[in-house]
Structure formats: structure tokens, C-alpha cells
Amino acid sequence: QVQLQESGPGLVEPSGTLSLTCNVSGGSITSGSYYWSWIRQPAGKGLEWIGRIFIGGSTNYNPSLKSRITISGDTSKDQFFLKMRSVTAADTAVYYCARGRGHDAEELDSWGQGTLVTVSS
């Protein structure tokens, strides 16, 4: 059974760059027809979809974040990444990585436990 685990700094300074890694275990990110996604959730609020990457390299991003984010992957390490530039306090949230089925309903069927990122000086 596939497992996902987020990692990265828990504290980022305002105007800095948030960098997160999602490690995938129990399966290769190149196997099957899946995409790999990032989602965030500010404390006490709802889920916000950030973006996704298909292995093959194509990406889709939330238009409200598109100018500041890059999602990439390393198939040799079964990892994918999120970089978010010019962060502000509004980017403080729990960040989740998740696997999505790459066809039909495209549902997110496996999630990491989430990692809290705080933007503060």
C-alpha cells in the first residue's frame, strides 16, 4: 500500500521560499496511471488545492497561486516537490501531498499526514 510523507522546514520567513518534499513509499511514482498533488489547509479552514504533476512532466496549478509555485518530481527517488516563492503569513497552513487517480473521477486516494508550515520572522 502506497504511503506518502511530507518533509521540509516548519518555519519560513516572509518573502522567502517554501520548499517541501513528498516521499512516496510502497510503490513507484511512475507505476500505474496516477498524478501527484499538493493541498493546503490553514488552521480552522477548508482545503485549498495547490496543484498537481503527472509523471511525464505535465502540471496543473491553482490560478490564484500559479505565479508563485512550481511542482516537480524526481522519479529516481520516488519524490515530488513543491516550491512556493514570495510567501506571506497567508501561506501559513498544513500542507498535504496526495496521490490522485489519473483517469475517470481522478480522486485523491492516498494522503500524507500533513506538515505545518508557519510563515513568520
Partner 1 sequence: DIQMTQSPSSLSASVGDRVIITCRASQSISTSLNWYQQKAGKAPSLLIYGAYNLQIGVPSRFSGSGFGTDFTLTISALQPTDFATYFCQQTYNNVLAFGGGTTVEIK
Among 29, 96, 117, 119, binds partner 1 (CB under 8 A): 96
Q: Least Å distance between CB 54 and partner 1? A: 10
Three-state helix/strand/coil letters over the chain: CCEEEEECCCEECCCCCEEEEEEEECCCCCCCCEEEEEEEECCCCCCEEEEEEECCCCEEECCCCHHHEEEEEECCCCEEEEEECCCCHHHCEEEEEEEEECCCCCCEEEECCCEEEEECC
Residue number, 47 or 89, with CB nearest to partner 1: 47
**107 touches partner 1 (CB under 8 A):** yes
Q: Least Å distance between CB 75 and partner 1? A: 22
**57 touches partner 1 (CB under 8 A):** no
Q: Least Å distance between CB 13 and partner 1? A: 27
**104 touches partner 1 (CB under 8 A):** yes
Binding site for partner 1 (CB under 8 A): 37, 39, 46-49, 52, 60, 62-63, 96, 100-101, 104-109, 111-114
